[in-house]
Amino acid sequence: MPITFQVLRNRLGPWGSVPAGWKPRRDAVPPLVDMLAAWTGSSSDEEVILGFVPGRIEVFGRHTDYAGGRSIVCAIDRGFLFAATPGGGRRIRIHEDSAEFGPVEFDLDPALVPSVGQWANYPMTMARRLARNFPGRLKGVDIVFSSTLPIGSGMSGSSALMMMVFTALALANGLQESAEFRENIKNAVDLSVYLACVENGQSFRGLEGDAGVGTFGGSEDHAAILNARPGRLSLFGFSPPELQDEVPWPRDWRMVVAFSGVRAEKTRQALEKYNLASRRVRDSVTRFNQLAGTRLSTLREVVDYQPKPEGRGWLRALEGRAADGVGALAPALADRVRQFILEDKTHIPGALAALRAEDLPAFGELVSASHRASKKYLWNIVPEIDYLQRSACRLGAAGASGFGAGFGGSIFTVTSADRAEELMARWRTRYGARYPGRAAESAFFPAQPGPGIEVWTDSGPARFADEIFQA
């Protein structure tokens, strides 16, 4: 699939040759490619890797993936546009086209020490893990990129950034041809779980883990970013990891997304808040095993276990049994399980049925119910997001919900296509009046389900997952 600078420039020349999905990025590509060529001193016949790594919307599945549950997700047409070229040694250099991210340089080294709390933590963690899991065969890359994702928006920008680095390194090195890759990663869902393990530090089959970036998340972000298809919502299960369903998004429905201006960044100071929901899952499973004499691993197994000890009072018994080191969380454990049950057993099945029936009011009500459960049981909804949810519904949206890890970030609303533009304008105006200090950083835009990672080949754009697995 290699393509040269000159061939790429020729392909991008005539407007009609640009595929529909790439037309919004048409004006951004040539300057980025030229910037890479000038920065690296590359000639026109050298290889260039061009790709787009999208953000995602978590439609349903609030903090369910790492608990063994399910998620309904999609990719969106905002994310990281990048151009890269293989380097001559093991050096990685990354440069962004604005001043938001400072340039970074580092080696592909299994002993690399990432800069925790800095944006460089993400690409450095990816490089270190690949150097450990695929020793002795990797060469570095030079990458330039631009981003249309608001920073800290909760649209999985940090995961997308790491996957951008992986995409460039994988294609520059033919990583899928290595024995380590073939033995451990069999398909695109496997790859998404491996990439999540790079982020959270866990091992994946024979590919040994390390410290990760410091967050204890799951793999729904990576599954959406890698596997999503345009015009569809994807249902992923994570115990075991699998793509369970793809449901068409009705043509006359729209999503409108609002970034609150409250950054939901996983910095050093914020890690504890992000990881608390994950800790509550682990402690709930530990408590249940103590109570029932079981050895279950996931919250899904706990919820599905029959018969439950203590009859219908098992949730209260869960809170009442002591466990070392988690006493402070005891009053919250049953609520954490309640949120999982609502999301996995009620909201997700109901949403799938409403999608297939193209029942917008029913779908919207479940979206709003998911938001209320997050606020009540996960404690991750900040006042700005909650105001956006309530104001969207008062303006006539079918439903609205904050999404992602929470503690800031974004919210999406669902509405009919003929009402989307008016709703977005009025929604933005109301938010600006209520939170004028946040208005300058906020962003409102329409969104539709889009494709996962795409890369340019000698025949044009293609799904990265198809290129890796030759689908």
The residues facing 92 across adjacent strands are 106
pLDDT digits (tens, 9 = 90+) for 287-300: 899 889 999 999 99
Q: In whole numbers, what is the pLDDT of the chain averaged over residues?
A: 90
More confident residue, 329 or 436: 436
Instruction: pLDDT band for 116, please (50, 70, 90 cuts).
Output: confident
What is the predicted pLDDT for the residue at 404? Answer: 86
CA 158 to chain centre: 8
Is residue 323 very low, low, confident or very high in pLDDT (cuts 50, 70, 90)? Answer: very low
- Confidence band, pLDDT 50/70/90 cuts, at residue 387: very high
pLDDT at 82: 97
| Model confidence band, residue 15 (pLDDT cutoffs 50, 70, 90) | very low
Q: Is the pLDDT of residue 270 over 70?
A: no
Q: Mean of the pLDDT values across residues 402-425?
A: 95
pLDDT of 139 above 70: yes
Q: What confidence score (pLDDT) does residue 322 get?
A: 47
Burial (Cβ within 10 Å: 0-12, 13-18, ≥19) of residue 419: middle
Q: Is the pLDDT of residue 267 over 60?
A: no
Segment (H or E) for 391: helix 383-394
Decide which of 323 and 140 is more confident: 140
Average confidence (pLDDT) over 188-217: 92
Position 403 scores a pLDDT of: 95
Q: Which pLDDT does position 463 carry in this prediction?
A: 94
Pick the closest to residue 102 from 93, 112, 111 (CA basis): 93
End-to-end Cα separation, the chain, in angstroms: 14
Q: Which residue has the higher pLDDT, 18 or 407?
A: 407
Mean pLDDT over 7-13 rounds to 74
pLDDT band at 124 (very low <50, low <70, confident <90, very high): very high
Cα 256 to Cα 398: distance, rounded to the nearest angstrom: 11
pLDDT beyond 80 at 99? no
Average pLDDT, integer, range 12-21: 62
> What's the pLDDT score for residue 460?
79
What are the CB-based long-range contacts (under 8 Å, 24+) for 426-432? 426/395, 427/256, 427/258, 427/388, 427/391, 427/392, 427/395, 428/258, 430/391, 430/395, 431/258, 431/260, 431/384, 431/387, 431/388, 431/391
Whether the per-residue pLDDT at 331 is higher than 70: the answer is: no
Residue 324 has pLDDT above 60, yes or no: no
pLDDT digits over 234-250, tens only?
999 998 899 999 999 99
**Residues contacting residue 351 through CB under 8 Å, at least 6 positions apart:** 59, 60, 72, 363, 366, 367
With cut-offs at 50, 70 and 90, classify the pLDDT of residue 17. Answer: low
- What local confidence, expressed as pLDDT, does residue 5 receive? 84
- Does the pLDDT value for residue 148 go beyond 70? yes
What pLDDT, on a 0 to 100 scale, did the predictor assign at position 321?
Answer: 54
pLDDT at residue 26 is higher than 80: no
pLDDT of residue 136: 79
Residues 166-188, mean pLDDT to the nearest whole number: 96
pLDDT at 21 exceeding the cut of 80: no
Q: So what's the pLDDT on residue 385?
A: 97
